[in-house]
C-alpha cells in the first residue's frame, strides 16, 4: 500500500512539473573544462538544470523547445562590483540632497532590469544608502525584474574617508556619523558597524581602505583604516558568515587590507609587486573595474561634469587601472570579474570583457572569472557559474563565439535566470 501511494505521489508531482524547457545550443561554454562544446541540448525543469544531452533534443508536447543552434550559450554572468542605486550624471552630487529614498528606489528598479538584460544574472552590490537591501528582497520575491543580488548595504568608511556620507556637506549637515551610518574610527566601532550591517540585512561587508576618486575629498589613495580596525571588521564579519571587499587605490591601504583579512581588492590601481605577492599568499582576489577607470577619465575631461576636487584624481587614477590589471594577471594574482557599474551606465557591463582581453587575459579565462571564480567567492560554486546538472538555471546566449569575438559579450540575446526566461 505504501509503495502504491508513493508511486501515485511521484506520478502526480511529475505531472505538475511536466513543462520543461529544452535549449538546443549550437555552442556551449563549459566553464569547468575551459572548452566550447557543440550541438548540445540543456534541459531545464523549474529552476534547475536537470540534464545536458548530446545533439538537438526536442521536448514533449507540453514542453518548450528553444532554438539556439546559431548561438553560443553559457552560464549567467556574475559582476562582483556594481552600485544599483545610482548612475553617473552631472547632477549626481546634487541629487544626494534633492532625491528622496523613494526616488533612489525607483531609479534602482530600472538599473536592476538593465543589468539582467545585459546577461548578469547575479551581482555583488558594493554600497549604497541601504535601498539596495530592499531592492535585493524585492527581486528575490519576484516583485521586480533584476539579477540575484548579494549586497553590502552601506559601505564602511572612516571619518572624512571615501564613503563617509557627509563628505562635501556644509557645516550644518556634516555632523558626526558613526557605526550605524557606516563610519568607523575604532576597533569597537568596527565590530558594531559589521553587526549593524547584519541587522540591516546585508550579505557581505565593503570597506573603503583608501581614498577614492569620486568622493568629495582630496586624496584618491591614502590609507584610511588601521590594520587593527580592518582585522576587527574581518573577524566580526567571519562570525556572521560574511566576506569583506576593500575599495583600494593606494598601495599601503591595500597591504593593510590584505593583512587584515579581506577577500577582494577593488580597483587596485597603484598596486606594487610586493602587494601582488601578498594577494597570492593570502588568497585575495583583484576586482579590476577597468571600464570605470576609462569612464571617469573621459568624464573628467568634460567641464563641470564632476566637482573640481574630483577632476585631478580621475585623471590620475583612471588611466592606470587597466595596466595594473595586466601586471597583476601576469604575476598570477587571482582575478574576479567586476565593473563598478553605476560609475558608468548600467547595462554596459559587458565592455569589461573586451578590456580584459585587450590587456592580455585569454577570453576563456575572462569568462571563467565572471562565472566560476565569482561563484566560488560567493560560496555558490555548487549552484552558479556552470551549465551542469543540479545547478541553478541561470543561462545566457550571444550571437558569436566569444573566443573569436569578445565584443559579442556586449550584446546578450537570451537571458534565463532561475529557470525563467527574461529575454529571447
Fold of 2-76+385-423: Urease, subunit C; domain 1 (2.30.40)
Residue 27, φ and ψ in degrees, nearest 5: -130, 145
- 89-93 contacts: CB < 8 A, separation 24 or more? 90/302, 90/304, 90/305, 93/168, 93/216, 93/307
The torsion region of residue 163 among left (phi > 0), alpha (psi -120 to 50) and beta comes to: left
Are 399 and 311 contacting, i.e. CB atoms less than 8 angstroms apart? no
- Which ranges of the chain have pLDDT less than 50? 1-16
Give me the pLDDT at residue 51, please: 97
Q: Class for domain 77-377, per CATH? A: alpha beta
Residue 285, φ and ψ in degrees, nearest 5: -115, 150
Q: Of all residues in the chain, what percent carry a pLDDT higher than 90?
A: 89
Give me the pLDDT at residue 18, please: 56
d(Cα 38, Cα 55) in Å, to the nearest integer? 8
Q: Where in the chain is the domain with CATH 2.30.40.10?
A: 2-76+385-423
d(Cα 122, Cα 171) in Å, to the nearest integer? 40
Q: Where in the chain is the domain with CATH 3.20.20.140?
A: 77-377
Give me the pLDDT at residue 4, please: 44
pTM reported for the whole predicted model: 0.94
d(Cα 57, Cα 64) in Å, to the nearest integer? 11
Give me the pLDDT at residue 171, please: 74
Give me the pLDDT at residue 185, please: 97
Amino acid at each position: 500500500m505504501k509503495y502504491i501511494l508513493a508511486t501515485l505521489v511521484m506520478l502526480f508531482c511529475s505531472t505538475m512539473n511536466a513543462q520543461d524547457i529544452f535549449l538546443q545550443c549550437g555552442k556551449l561554454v563549459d566553464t569547468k573544462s575551459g572548452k566550447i562544446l557543440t550541438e548540445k541540448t540543456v534541459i531545464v525543469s523549474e529552476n534547475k538544470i536537470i540534464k545536458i544531452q548530446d545533439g538537438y533534443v526536442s521536448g514533449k508536447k507540453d514542453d518548450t523547445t528553444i532554438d539556439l543552434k546559431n548561438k553560443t550559450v553559457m552560464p549567467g554572468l556574475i559582476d562582483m562590483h556594481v552600485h544599483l542605486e545610482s548612475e553617473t550624471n552631472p547632477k549626481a552630487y546634487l541629487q544626494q540632497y534633492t532625491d528622496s529614498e523613494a526616488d533612489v528606489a525607483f531609479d534602482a528598479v530600472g538599473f536592476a532590469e538593465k543589468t539582467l538584460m545585459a546577461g548578469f544574472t547575479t551581482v555583488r552590490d558594493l554600497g549604497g544608502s541601504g535601498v539596495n537591501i530592499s531592492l535585493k528582497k524585492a527581486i528575490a520575491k519576484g516583485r521586480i525584474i533584476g539579477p540575484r543580488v548579494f549586497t553590502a548595504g552601506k559601505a564602511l568608511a572612516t571619518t572624512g574617508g571615501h564613503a563617509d556620507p557627509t563628505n562635501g556637506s556644509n557645516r550644518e549637515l556634516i555632523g558626526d556619523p558613526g557605526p550605524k551610518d557606516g563610519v568607523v574610527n575604532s576597533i569597537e566601532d568596527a565590530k558594531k558597524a559589521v553587526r549593524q550591517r547584519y541587522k540591516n540585512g546585508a550579505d557581505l561587508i565593503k570597506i573603503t581602505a583608501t581614498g577614492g576618486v569620486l568622493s568629495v575629498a582630496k586624496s584618491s589613495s591614502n590609507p584610511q583604516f588601521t590594520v587593527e580596525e580592518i582585522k576587527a571588521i574581518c573577524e566580526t564579519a567571519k562570525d556572521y558568515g560574511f566576506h569583506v571587499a576593500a575599495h583600494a587605490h593606494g598601495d599601503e591601504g591595500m597591504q593593510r587590507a590584505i593583512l587584515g583579512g579581506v577577500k577582494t581588492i577593488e580597483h587596485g590601481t597603484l598596486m606594487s609587486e610586493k602587494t601582488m605577492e601578498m594577494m597570492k599568499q593570502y588568497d585575495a582576489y583583484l576586482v579590476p573595474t577597468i571600464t570605470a577607470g576609462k569612464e571617469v577619465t573621459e568624464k573628467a575631461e568634460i567641464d563641470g561634469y564632476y566637482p573640481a576636487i574630483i577632476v585631478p584624481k580621475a585623471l590620475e587614477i583612471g588611466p592606470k587601472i587597466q595596466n595594473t590589471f595586466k601586471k597583476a594577471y601576469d604575476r598570477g594574482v587571482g582575478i574576479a570579474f567586476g565593473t563598478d557599474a553605476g560609475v558608468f551606465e548600467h547595462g554596459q557591463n559587458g565592455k569589461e570583457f573586451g578590456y580584459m582581453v585587450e590587456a592580455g587575459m585569454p577570453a576563456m579565462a575572462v569568462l571563467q572569472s565572471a562565472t566560476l571564480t565569482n561563484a566560488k567567492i560567493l560560496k555558490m560554486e555548487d549552484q552558479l557559474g556552470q551549465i551542469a546538472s543540479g545547478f541553478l538555471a541561470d543561462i545566457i546566449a550571444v550571437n558569436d563565439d566569444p573566443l573569436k569575438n569578445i565584443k559579442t559579450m556586449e550584446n546578450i540575446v537570451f537571458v534565463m535566470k532561475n529557470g525563467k526566461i527574461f529575454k529571447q
